[in-house]
Amino acid sequence: MSLTKRQFLGYGAAGLAGLAAIAYGLGAFSGDPGWTSTFMTVDEMKASGGHVVDIRTPPEWAETGVIEGAQLVTFTDPARFLAKVGPQIADGRDLILICRSGNRSSRAARALAGKIPNRIISIDGGMMREIASGYRTVPPS
């Protein structure tokens, strides 16, 4: 069987597309950043067994209150943050990050991805969404 150049290129392109689809299905191009952004209620966060860390600043904690039991650590850089939070997540549990709106926690999650083996969850909508959903905060301690 003799193929024209056009047929040969067409079959080759189809073959490469098929291989790419298989590789994608196996996760080779999954793009999994090591973290996820999702909304969870405070009850869901606590039920998950993850370690909840409020990465806002002290004035923000004072302004709105905080999640009862959350660790309060302002995120400035991965090394300083992990020095404070690392011992609490050494058991492998999820690291749940919350900020005001979800933007800073997403950036922090991105900065931490690959530096720890734990799954990192950024709370979409942050404290604004938690409060709007009816969560009653407690004063920071």
Continuous H helices in the chain: 5-25, 42-48, 58-64, 78-89, 103-112, 126-132
The tokens 């790419």 sit on which residue?
20
Show Cβ contacts of residue 111 under 8 Å, excluding neighbours closer than 6 positions. 75, 77, 78
Q: Is the dihedral angle over the CA atoms 56, 61, 64, 70 positive or is it negative?
A: positive
The whole-angstrom separation of Cα 65 and Cα 48 is 22
The tokens 């905060």 sit on which residue?
137
Q: Tokens in use for 131?
A: 């409060």
Per-residue pLDDT of the chain (141 residues; tens, 9 = 90+): 565 666 544 454 444 444 444 433 433 344 457 899 999 999 999 999 999 999 999 999 999 999 999 999 999 999 999 999 999 999 999 999 999 999 999 999 999 999 999 999 999 999 999 999 999 999 998
In terms of Cβ atoms closer than 10 Å to its own Cβ (0-12, 13-18, 19+), residue 4 is exposed
Give the pLDDT of residue 20: 42
